[in-house]
Structure 1
């Protein structure tokens, strides 16, 4: 018996006119038959979850290196939290939840070992070969480096998911803006992702969900580490109000529950603010299609002025008290040294990257092309694999403590 695809009820409710239409995808670079049981964006999400890159996020740093404690966020737990918030925003705004979730799940694929520390080190090392951008690396992973399918390299994701991946933070081609990272420009030459427009609302809510998640959970991890204290949160007007609210309602609450009550309220307030602002923008702009959103000339899903200020204050607070704390900076210095050492070792002896590279003729490539091969290999490493590789190649490996 044939399945009537349109009777399956994909998604969780009626989509608004400004949502991406799951039946009108611009397709994939390599054409594939339509699935009788899943929408195009459900297929994308499922492919993302089943990748090696997704599993590797389990052992990649968010703020604290994994061996510092089992309860700190990793890139994987952060990604899951972003996806949950993105899906909640998408449902409230009558968007395609599967597309929003897929963009959220793939947004950190390109991160190096040791988080932003590794990215900064690799960007510096790649200065003569186009630099390094984790967003561009995410695109390389899903279009080239994941090699699982018989008919194509990468995941052959839909146009809408790829667009959301590269543009979730806004247009890449803007007057006076930075050059488009080489991997994105190269791919775009053969599969136009409209780099000069904004992305869909599904992608925009995934981007703001990332801010909401790490603003909240980095504070939570900072409190867990002891580098941030509850008293220090009084510096932040939003957090101070939430602390008062929780203490007034639960005057004898023990500290772990107090922290959780404040964190959950912070997420709720931020999510509600984004929903209200986005609804107001929809009423003002009156988009009748996802392309109207793309051509609106502005980001439609964002914080109000009040929460922009709160967001700025939280980021400043985190940089001062957590990201630049001497204990964290000491670990970052060691991580930077590991990335630099590995890059130099692999550039000098590409065969050290393993059997896959041993007979690939990498030694004969021009320096820039060889550097890009090393970039791909090194960026794909987890923290634990990078540490093990350094111990194999060097007599002394810096302690990440």
Structure 2
């Protein structure tokens, strides 16, 4: 039965099963691209799905996970995002779009880059990057959102090795990913956050587009659309020409200039530092209370590693939930320091 009076007629289409798409990958993807056939290596072995490739299953699991949904309430640049300001969720979607555009141009596995991109920031705590500073002292190895995402936030999904590696190593401070698709996501993440964070800051009145360094305006443009187009095209052209995934020297330098500008004018401005200090104080207060009162959260009390479980629980919070818990547990009545755009 159809919901419409005159349903669309199809000429008995054959189901496009997993094996057919794997065969298509074998002939359509570039040499060196990651193929789904023969992949699907998981910590707990699973029988192949009849309709979906292993990376399609990974993507679907990430999208349906609570860790992914919570990104909607987590800081990208501005704490307690409002109006059209980006969240970690919209950032993940934008990274996926950029990564797929590059992968398509290079004939890499688009589904794998999408899975990695959608999951790449699931390990971020509330309040953005200051959450890493806040949680660092509680783990012997320190807190890294990329590692946390792959091993804890998404650890129960039994994702493929290739997907987990791309998530765990998407940060430039981490080792190079094992697949070219993982490398593409690492570049797409930087492309997306530099262009989009700048756009949010311009809309918040923190900076103006005409204040950008000359190298950025001349090579990348002053607006988000031009910048994304220039950076995506450069990665594709450079990779096709040199056979190595990356930017041309001139564009890499312009991108470095944009990154320095963003840090000086957005991320490290006084209002951002005040709010970063607020996030650190908030999350450490929650951690200290929880370690002193582990029965407040059953999964922490039941864990053989209560400190690690407490870190995972606090890291999984949204911005607003973290503050609400602090108000309940600790009697906090303080809101984050106000500033135009509330930038972190």
Q: TM-score range by the shorter chain?
A: 0.7 to 0.9
**Residue 213 (str. 1) matches residue 192 (str. 2):** yes
Deviates more, 1:389-398 or 1:38-47: 389-398
Gaps of 5+ in 1: 145-153, 174-196, 244-258, 283-299
- Superposition misfits of 4+ residues, deviation over 6 angstroms: 9-13
> For residues 220 and 321 of structure 1, what CA distance do their matches in structure 2 show?
13
**1:169 CA drift (Å):** 4.5
| Equivalent residue in structure 1 for 2:170, among 168, 175, 179 | 168
Aligned residues: CA RMSD: 2.4
Q: Where does 1:364-383 land on structure 2 (aligned, <5 Å)?
A: 369-383=305-319
**1:64 CA drift (Å):** 0.3
> For residues 306 and 80 of structure 2, what CA distance do their matches in structure 1 show?
30
Distance 1:168-1:328 versus aligned 2 partners, 3 A rule: closer
**Residue 25 (str. 1) matches residue 4 (str. 2):** no
Are the counterparts in 2 of residues 213 and 267 from structure 1 also a CA contact under 8 Å?
yes
Query: Deviations 1:136-176 (Å, cap 9, x if unpaired)?
Result: 101223564xxxxxxxxx11111211222223347967xxx
**1:325 CA drift (Å):** 1.5
**1:38 CA drift (Å):** 0.9
Are the counterparts in 2 of residues 117 and 335 from structure 1 also a CA contact under 8 Å?
yes
Q: Where does 1:159-308 land on structure 2 (aligned, <5 Å)?
A: 159-169=161-171, 198-233=177-212, 235-239=213-217, 262-282=223-243, 300-308=244-252
**Residue 391 (str. 1) matches residue 335 (str. 2):** no
Aligned to 2:6: none
Q: Where does 1:84-103 land on structure 2 (aligned, <5 Å)?
A: 84-103=97-116
TM-score (norm 1): 0.75
| Equivalent residue in structure 1 for 2:160, among 155, 158, 168 | 158
Are the counterparts in 2 of residues 334 and 398 from structure 1 also a CA contact under 8 Å?
no
Gaps of 5+ in 2: 1-13, 339-344
SS of the residue aligned with 1:115?
coil
Are the counterparts in 2 of residues 142 and 155 from structure 1 also a CA contact under 8 Å?
no
Paired positions, count: 323
**1:241 CA drift (Å):** 6.0
Aligned to 1:113: 126
TM-score (norm 2): 0.87
> For residues 18 and 144 of structure 2, what CA distance do their matches in structure 1 show?
39
SS of the residue aligned with 2:157?
coil
Aligned to 1:316: 260
